[in-house]
Amino acid sequence: MDQNVVILGFIQGLTEFLPVSSSGHLALAQIFLGVEMPPLSYDLVLHVATMAATVLFFFNDIIRLFTEWVSGIFSKEKRSLTGWSVGWAVFIGTMVTGAIGMLIKDFAEDAMMNSLMVGFGLVFTGIVLISSRFIRKGLGRVSPFDGLLVGLAQGIAVMPGISRSGMTMMAGTAAGISREEVFRFSFLLSIPAIAGAALLQAREVGGVEAFISSLPGNWYLGAAAAFVSGLVSLFVLRKLVIASKWWIFGIYCLALGSLSVITSFLGVW
């Protein structure tokens, strides 16, 4: 059991950040392999662990940008700083993501058990990622309008098989944001999204006592695995994004999604 807890944590941390759709992988594992999904409480723990990895990775950026955003509220001169535009972009993007997420939440949950829907989601992700090769390198900074566009992309990624990181980075790249900026903004925008989803899950667990009692043994080992693998995947992805090599994940998503679609149509599983 302990080994399964750690493996699940490792997979969660790895696929949460790499543009391969963690929800799509979990859905296919459940549908085709009969893998038992973890208790909601443990899923919540893993999401908080990956969010903590994001906060640590971008800690200096978060402090600086937040300070610049707050200073812009009290001083017009400070509104030319990067944090002012990024802060509003994160705020707008989070509102858009939340609205879309609530709108399609039930449909997305039903799609989690439909291998055809998950397969199409992965194929879509693959095509989006591969097309990044043909987009001209951007040099722009993040603007509040970018928050609207990237937030829309993040909201659509509620669907299983559609990668959150892939969609947001692609949307930012298409908007002309530089690679370094689009990588940072994508994951800064993920923090309130993951926190909000975690709070919604926490309400469904049924109180602190029920939450603790439903956790698997040595759950903290899985949380540690999710945290560490999340940090590693962030370092790897940053290098690939800056080098414009993240389209490689598109080939993998396209292959896995196509296999899922074909298998579903033929009914061979």
pLDDT along the chain (269 residues), means of 10: 69 83 80 67 80 95 95 91 94 95 88 89 94 80 93 92 92 91 93 84 69 74 89 90 86 94 76
Q: How many domains does the chain fold into? A: 1
Closest CA relative to residue 53, chosen from 79, 14, 95 = 14
- Please give the pLDDT value at position 36: 65
- Asked if 121 contacts 24 with a C-beta cutoff of 8 angstroms, the reply is yes
For residue 45, the enclosing domain spans 2-266
Global confidence as pTM: 0.86
11 alpha-carbon distance from chain centroid: 13
- Please give the pLDDT value at position 241: 86
Angle 144-234-118 (CA atoms, 0-180°, nearest 5)? 80
- Name the amino acid, one letter, at 215: L
- Please give the pLDDT value at position 211: 67
- Please give the pLDDT value at position 234: 93
Structure tokens at 205: 């667990």
- Please give the pLDDT value at position 89: 96
Distance (Å, rounded) from C-alpha 25 to C-alpha 174? 26
Distance (Å, rounded) from C-alpha 261 to C-alpha 32? 12
